[in-house]
A and B are shown apart, each in its own frame.
Chain A
Amino acid sequence: MKCDLVVVGGGPGGSMAAKAAAAAGLNVVMLEKRQEIGDPVRCAEGVSKRSLHKMVQPEPEWISSEVKGARLYAPDGNSIVMSEDKSGGEVGYVLERKVFDRGLAMLAAQAGARVMVKTRALGLIKKDGAVCGVSAMRIGEPIQIEAPLVIGADGVESKVGRWAGIDTTLKLDDIESCAQFLVQDASIDDDYTEFFLGNSIAPSGYAWSFPKGRKLANIGLGIQGSRSKPGEAVRLLRQLMKSRFPNGRVVEMVVGGDPCSGPINSAIADGVMLVGDAARQTDPLTGGGILNAMKAGAIAGEVAAKAISAGDFTRKGLQEYEARWKEDIGKTLARSFQLKEFFVKLTDKDINQLIGSLAKEDITKMDLGGMLRVLFRLNPKLLWSLKSLII
């Protein structure tokens, strides 16, 4: 089989890339190793409403619920509230990823991309050192797909980058080990995403509740890999359930690894572009990755079309992708990485002090930057090392 572009991975990044490239006239094949796109889920499903609408017109069935804001709990139980349009990060919509991912794949298919499920990439085909396709296993049968360009959208367990010589291996400091239950409980706040901070709750991470409507919520947590031990994420989640949601009924279980390394220096190689979790474009502070993957995917798809028409598939020919994703999301990712590096070291006493200091401040109208500036003013000694990031 021959085509212009192979996209490896049918998540939001892959589908947006396939959609953009197909819409620009390329002959695109998108491979998904699972037999069902979007399932099993590995995500807390929160996205910013405004940012999602900038990317795509969402169908009503993609969205489980809409939240008004976020509430952050300190280890001592004190809390603060941020409103939806200002908290900036991953609140707004709580998606139904199984339907959402499939919906985006449908958009790619409608734009003309060929989607192959239960098809797993095995390696890059190279000729005289240049990428010229992907070898794959399709429903147990080997196939070769010839193409001068490959987009790796193959997630946390990405192989495409490593095959192309881009080292995407995550250090234990740079991955969060996560576990989540879908929970039915009368005590769930349907209107607010909740975050629970503390080293005994989720060491160098946080716990969350993303409400999905009708007293159903994704309740989970992530812990820094270096502070994990076998089975720790699930053990801590059970502990959280016991203390916070003792009457909760668990109807689904989700686990996963969330990259928080900050983006790799270069997401391109000759004939190859990486997008989304594969390029470690996940926000290291929040762990949110859907929108960044979609943005990067759309850019990569456009650049693929340009590269095909120019006939240049080398690193140089793909440089526009590198420049544009860095311009769009690179700076925020770099800042989030520095903030994460700081926040993972905080003691419970520090977190109590920071959240407690906001008790008398009106932060409901502030964005993250504004809140950080207030925090800095109230806690200059504790936050001094972040001075250059905040002011």
Chain B
Amino acid sequence: MLTVNRYKCCYCGACVGVCPTCALELVETWLEVSTECKECGLCAKICPVGALEVRA
């Protein structure tokens, strides 16, 4: 599953822009992940601070 490290996330929304299934939503400082997430990992790759990780 996709995990968000809330201590690292700087809530910039870059991940939301690349998500192919529209599974991410930035609510001010809180990144929400919906059940639409296909765990493709594109968001983790571009996260400037490395706050996202797809874990088995």
Contact = CB atoms under 8 A, between A and B. Distances in A.
Interface of A: 33-35, 40, 42, 118, 120, 155-159, 162, 168-172, 175, 177-179, 225, 228-234, 253-257, 259
Nearest to B21: A169
Contacts of B24: 157
A33 B31 CA distance: 13
Nearest to A178: B48
Interface residues of B, number: 27
B37 interface: no
Contact of B50 (A33, A118, A159, A234): A234
Contact of B22 (A42, A159, A171, A234): A159
Given A157-B16, A162-B22, A230-B53, A40 B11 contact: yes
A303 B14 CA distance: 30
A175 B10 contact: no
B47 to A, nearest CB: 6
Interface in B1-56: 10-20, 22, 24-28, 42, 44-50, 52-53
B37 to A, nearest CB: 14
A156 B24 CA distance: 13
B14 to A, nearest CB: 3
A197 to B, nearest CB: 19
A284 to B, nearest CB: 14
A233 B46 CA distance: 8
Interface of B: 10-20, 22, 24-28, 42, 44-50, 52-53
Given A40-B11, A234-B49, A255-B10, A175 B18 contact: yes
Given A170-B17, A225-B18, A253 B26 contact: no
18 contacts: A40-B11, A118-B28, A157-B26, A169-B17, A169-B19, A169-B20, A175-B18, A177-B14, A178-B14, A230-B47, A231-B48, A231-B49, A233-B49, A234-B48, A254-B10, A257-B14, A257-B48, A259-B17
A257 B22 contact: no
A160 B33 CA distance: 18
B22 A177 contact: no
B14 A120 contact: no
A158 B14 CA distance: 10
B27 A120 contact: yes
Contacts of B47: 177, 230-231
Contacts of B15: 257
A118 B46 CA distance: 27
Contacts of A172: 18, 42, 45-46
